[in-house]
Every structure is written in C-alpha cells, then in structure tokens.
Amino acid sequence: MRPPARWLPLLVILTCTVGVASRLLAQNPPATAGPIARAEALLRLGRIEDAELLLNKHVALQPNDGKAWLFLGRIYLGAAHDWHTAGHPGASGPILLDFATQTIEQAQQLLTDSGSVFRVVVELERATNRVEELGWARGMAVAVSAEDLPLPPVLRELGRNLIASCPERGVLVTGGLVETASAWGSRLLANVRPDLILVQPELYAADPRYRAQMASAIGADPSTSLAGALVAAGANRPICLSPTLDSLAGPPLSWHPMRLALVAGRLGDADNSTPMSVFQLARTGLAGSVWAVPARDVYSQAALRNQSLCTSLFVKPDAQGLPIIPACLP
C-alpha cells in the first residue's frame, strides 16, 4: 500500500539516511521501543498493515492504553480519508470508518480530551460520504446527535465563532484539523446554519466525486480548480476563508476581514448580530485542554489580519479573565 501523503516528509528524511546499519534499524524497529514508536517507524516505511497489526495486538494485551487506541484509530481514520483520493476502491472507506469509530470511542473513554476531536472527524468523514452519494443538501440533512459530536468546550466555542463569521448563504473554506473539526462539529449539530456550505480544499482538489457534488452545491463548473469555482460562486454567495488559509493562495477576489474570516464575493446584508465569545478559552486556560493552544493560535491568526478583534473580542473580560492572544500583545 502506498504511504499516505502526510507521512512523506518523514519518508524523505528516512531515505536520506546513509549506512546499511541505519537502514536495517529503520526496517526493523527495536523490540525495546514502545508500541507507538514502533508503529510510527513502520508507518514511515509505508508498512501500514504492519503498524495496524502491531497496535491491535498491543491493545488486546493492554486495553487501558488510551494513546495506543487513539493512534490506531487515527490510522483507520487516515486510511478512510485516503480512500477518497485513491478513487474509492471497493467499499473499504465506510468499513474503515467503522473501525475508526470503535477504536476512537475506546480512546475517548480513556483520553476524553484528545479522543473527542477525532470522534468528530469520524462524523465529518461520514457526512462527506453522504454528500458524495446524495449531494450537499440531502447529505447534510441527516441529523447528528450531540453525543456523536463531543467537541471540547473550547473548540465548540471556536466552531460557533467561525460559522458566525461567514455571512448568510456563505461558502466557508476551512484549513487544518482544529478549524475543520470545530466548524463541522458546530455545523452538523442539529443542522446549525443550514444556509452555510463548508468546503474541504484538499478533497476538492483530489477527489472528482467530491468536487462534482460540491461544485453543484455552490454553482460552479466541476472541471475548474477550487479557486475558479470560488470565483464563480462569489457572483452569488459570500466566500469565506478560515484564519489559517492565506488569501494569496486563494482565488483572485477582493478580500476583507470580517470577524474571524476573510470574506469576498457577493455579501448582501452581512449579519454580525450573532455574538462571539472567548469565555471557554479563558475558562479552560492553555493548560486545561490539549486543544486550548491550537484554538488560541487560530484566534491569533485571525487577529493578525483583523486587528479590530484585539479591541472587540479580546477586550471583554469576565469572571475567568481574558486569554492572551499573541497577535494582540503590544
């Protein structure tokens, strides 16, 4: 099996290693290494099935190792995601998602904070499969329970702020795990903001089936790139980029900051009445959740291109105080 693209930088480092002894060591991770370290070494070599087998054997003997359960779940989740870019061979994608669900639920019981976000990513992948089969409107009409979307409070708050930053009937393009999980976790819950369309740029570029359905949803030609599709959609809809996406790499539109997003296209009457809050980020604190620092960094990226956030969102202390946002420091 070809190794996933996310492992390629590590593979480059590995193949540049000189000496027969180093190569043999890489091919046969020492038995004294921990199971996760050994699984990582196998993944660097593209030996995904061996890494999966190793971790399955380990959790059978050590069922309370939450980190191993999570790593195994992420292998299944990554393989389910790669199924899209590989041309949807067979029916393995949904099956891999079932495996990911079972293992990540085990991790969630042991590592609540870490495992919960990847449980949301599983639901994101399920929604993506429905969209590819049924189209955007019908695929997103399926109700998802709060139990299946267990975002930590700090990311639930971030997700609400992100979708509130995109005007009515907008198209929100997300980048990165934290932004994507937060926005989708909030959007899927009870079908919040049914007018808002979320686009995953990686899949749009690599998966013709996904691109066809999403181009239809936003009113674009599926034969064009995402940049071209967003330009076409911008004639009728607001186009929004999440904080970690750079407008210079986006479509040639006239961008301006609006809350946490960069927005372009046909805006109509933008609704800024939905309040935003950083209460949970302040309450949690950077040491209170493994997701607090990544969330803080998203806010900081937003503030770098929208300094008005520093005099609005981040200047309203409550009983918990205020989070420190690097981009807003003197």
Render pLDDT for 270-286 as a digit per residue (tens, 0 to 9): 666 788 999 899 888 88
For the chain, what is the domain count?
A: 3
Backbone angles phi, psi at 144, to 5 degrees: -120, 130
In a domain, 270, yes or no: no
Q: Given this model, what pLDDT does residue 271 score?
A: 65
pTM score: 0.84
Q: Given this model, what pLDDT does residue 303 score?
A: 96
Residues 179 and 296 in one domain: no
The residue from 146, 171, 191 where one domain ends is 146
Q: How far is CA 134 from the centre of its chain?
A: 22
Which of 94, 96, 140, 132 lies closest to 208, judged by CA?
Answer: 132
Residues 242 and 222 in one domain: yes
- Separation of alpha carbons 122 and 88, rounded Å: 17
In a domain, 273, yes or no: no
Residues 166 and 183 in one domain: yes
Residues 138 and 28 in one domain: yes
Determine whether 275 is exposed, middle or buried from the number of CB atoms within 10 Å of its CB (0-12, 13-18, 19+): exposed
Residues 233 and 251 in one domain: yes
Residues 51 and 166 in one domain: no
With a cut of 50, which residues of the chain have pLDDT below it? Answer: 1-27, 318-319
Amino acid letter, residue 272: N
Residues 127 and 169 in one domain: no
In a domain, 272, yes or no: no
The residue from 119, 146, 173 where one domain ends is 146
Residues 170 and 97 in one domain: no
Q: Given this model, what pLDDT does residue 11 score?
A: 28
Q: List the domain range (segments joined by +) for residue 169.
A: 148-265
Which of 133, 141, 120, 126 lies closest to 81, judged by CA?
Answer: 126
Which of 15, 19, 51 lies closest to 34, judged by CA?
Answer: 51
Q: Given this model, what pLDDT does residue 9 score?
A: 32
Residues 230 and 251 in one domain: yes
Q: Given this model, what pLDDT does residue 16 score?
A: 33
Tell me: the pLDDT tens digits for 166-181? Answer: 999 999 999 999 999 9
Residues 156 and 127 in one domain: no
Q: Given this model, what pLDDT does residue 3 score?
A: 36
Q: Given this model, what pLDDT does residue 115 score?
A: 87
